[in-house]
Each structure stands twice: as structure tokens, then as C-alpha cells.
Amino acid sequence: MLTSFLLSPGKIELRDIPVPTPGRGEVLIKIKAALTCGTDLKAFLRGHPLIPMPGPFGHEFSGVIAEIGAGVIKFKEGDHVMCVHSAPCGLCQYCKTGSFNLCENIMQTKVLGAFAEYILIPEHIVKQNLFIKPPSIPFEQAAMMEPLACVVHGASQLRVDKDTTALVIGSGPIGLMHLAVMKMKGAKVIVTARNEKRLSIAKQLGADVCVQPELLRDAINNMTNKLGTDIVIECTGQPEIWERSVDYTRRGGTVMLFGGCKKGTLVSFDTYRLHYDEITLKGAFHFTPADVAHAKELLENGLDLSSIITGTYQLNDLEKALLRLSNSDGLKYAIIP
């Protein structure tokens, strides 16, 4: 089978390796669509601590079951499926307290290698995070279940209703998914970014206001009568924007710091605001099996994220797709083996 190996930053090699045979409880999936993501792009440009090199990469995918291992009873060969690349161990201290997204083993037992013709799914993922794909969901959108589950996990920690005002900072795929989820919950949403093409997609996804950063303060004042938004969701992962994000929320508001900064990055906040205005700063990482199931339900119930997929490439053109993303040309590309 053909598999893309990331050899070093900027260098990808398409290798022909043996098709794996599923062991007990495992499932072999023939990939129909794999999506690029920001983590893949970071790894391609400069490396990533969670993506070993040289090695296979890519982790957003959907496909058809090609073979099942002994003991698998919920699935059969030929099933159209949607899946994510990780699942909690269920045994560590975090799993025992229900914090499945913080599982001590979840990153060590994840699966990489979606930019390939086949991918082998281990038993713990098959049991928890593999689902039959409804015919109504195209393979490309089904592959969106993984990043959507991350967004769902963040949103599950926020109180949102029809009176909620929210600011999404950043119009990349994650920011746009946050927008879509906030709108489904009934919130009024401002999206701020510099890329006009992406802001136009935000408008298509239901943003109430799309605005350049220079005009953001006026937009917030108009929507909230100068109070500030109830929620700010930071999706850029830029330290200076993390620091400014608290300026946009009201007293008693919540700032979700969703965009990850480079390890070791330090930021500072106005302690007066945090203390006297009771600002909540909240991180969000990964997802739980319940978040994955909810993401699947959202897609099944008609959440349309097709506008986030800019185009398609064949497996041997993966590097072209990543280079386009590095130039801010597009949002996500579907890689079709």
C-alpha cells in the first residue's frame, strides 16, 4: 500500500509498504478521504513533538472496512465508517475520574498514517470511537469528525443559549467550526480575522458580524451595548492574541484559549481585570468519546461543513496541498488515495 512518510520538515516520501493484517479486535480501513489540518502543517513546516519523524502522518479520515480481526462483532467488511485516531485507555487516574481527554496514554496510543491507502485501527479505538457512516454524509465531511469533536469538547464547557454573545478570533477551520457550533446553540457570533475570503465563508456559516481586527471594538460595542461579549474563543494560537483576548469579554465573561501556543510559551494578563471583573480563562484539549459521538450526531443531523474543504488532491500531491496551506491558500484539502 502507498503511505506518505514525513521524513523531516519539508520533505515527504510516498512509500510502498505491506498492507497490515488486523489482529484481535482490530479493523483495517481502506481510506476514502483524509483531510489536512493545522497540526499536519506545523509538522510539515517545522516538526511537531507528537508526530515522530520519519514516520507516517495524517489523522483525519473516513473510509470502508477492508478487513476485520477476530472478535470484532459490531462491524463487517464493506461497512462505510467514520473514525478518530485516538481513544482513552480507561485505566489511568484521569480516566477513572472521567477526564478521558486527559488520559495519560491517549497520545502514546494514537494512530497516525491517514495519508495512505489503508490504516489499521487498534481495538481500544474500534470499541470507543469507530462509527458506521450514514449515506447522507460524504466521506470528505465524515473525515471532519475528529476536529469537530475537539470543538464540541470546548463548547461543552461553555454556557450558551439564544442570549449569548460570542467572539471567535480566527477564521481557520477550527474557528469556523466553533462558529458553526455556537450558531447551532443559538448564540450571536462575531468573527474577526484578516483574510477576507475566510470571512466570507464565516458569513456563509451564519456569522452575525464578520470584521477586520481594526474594527473589532466597534463591532463588539454595537452588539453588546459596550459591555463586551459573554464568550471569547481564541483560535489563532498566537501569544499576543491570547493576551488581548481578555479585553473583549464582559465582566464575568469567559475566554476559551483554544488555539495552542508553542510549548514553553509564556503570556501575561491584566490581573486587575481577571480578579475584579471575575474573568474566567479556560483551556480546552482534545476530546472524550462522548464528544466524538456528539460530533457524529451533528454531522448526521445536517451540520454542513463542506465550505471548509477548499479542494481535493491525490495522495502523491500531498506536498502541494500543504504548500498551498503554508501560503494561506485554502482551509482544508481532502487527500483522496
Percent composition of the chain: helix, strand, coil (DSSP 3-state, to 5): 35, 25, 40
pLDDT for the residue 263: 86
pLDDT band of residue 48 (cuts 50, 70, 90) is confident
Domains in the chain with CATH codes: 2-149+287-336 (3.90.180.10), 158-283 (3.40.50.720)
The residues with which 262 forms a beta bridge, in sequence order, are none
Cα end-to-end span (Å), the chain: 10
Q: pTM for this structure?
A: 0.95
CA 15 to CA 62: how far, in whole Å?
A: 21
CA 290 to CA 203: how far, in whole Å?
A: 29
Contact assessment for residue 212 and residue 192, using Cβ atoms and an 8 Å cutoff: yes
Residue 49 has pLDDT above 90, yes or no: no
Mean pLDDT for 232-242 is: 96
Burial of 41 (0-12, 13-18, 19+ CB in 10 A): middle
pLDDT for the residue 240: 97
Spatial CA neighbour of 220 closest among 251, 195, 196, 189: 189
Spatial CA neighbour of 180 closest among 151, 157, 205: 205
CA 113 to CA 107: how far, in whole Å?
A: 14
Residue 132 has pLDDT above 90, yes or no: yes
pLDDT band of residue 122 (cuts 50, 70, 90) is very high
Mean pLDDT for 71-81 is: 97
pLDDT band of residue 147 (cuts 50, 70, 90) is very high
pLDDT for the residue 175: 97
pLDDT for the residue 262: 86
pLDDT digits (tens, 9 = 90+) for 177-218: 999 999 999 999 999 999 999 999 999 999 999 999 999 999
CA 77 to CA 29: how far, in whole Å?
A: 9
pLDDT band of residue 320 (cuts 50, 70, 90) is very high
